[in-house]
Amino acid sequence: MNFGFLILAAMMSTVGVARAQGPEALLQQYKCYICHANNETRTGPAYIDVAAKYRGNPRAVAIVAAVVIRGARSGGPWHMPPHPEISEADAKKMARYILSLKK
């Protein structure tokens, strides 16, 4: 019985750690930095450019979080795929970080 409790406690603490991750760790975990960077354009736009585009928009966090989860199509040859595995809370945490960046 004690062994089962220890396993359950370990599993719950792992879940807690995953939820407590900072936004940059989430961007790493979900491999966002493969296509994006904070300060330079790659396959996707630089996060500072995303922040500049939405600066002053009161719905910016919701919009960027929705793009993270649903993906996006633009005029170029590359499209951001949807990421339904990302929770709304994590997407908003990442969006707030992205939108906080300045040139």
Distances, alpha carbon 89 to alpha carbons 5, 23, 30, 58, 70, in Å? 29, 11, 14, 18, 14
Q: Cβ(31)–Cβ(81) under 8 Å?
A: no
pTM above 0.75? yes
Q: CATH class for domain 22-100?
A: mainly alpha
pLDDT digits (tens, 9 = 90+) for 37-93: 999 999 999 999 999 999 999 999 999 999 999 999 877 778 999 999 999 999 999
H helix intervals, the chain: 2-19, 23-29, 47-54, 60-70, 88-100
H helix intervals, 20-81: 23-29, 47-54, 60-70
- Whole-number pLDDT of residue 63: 97
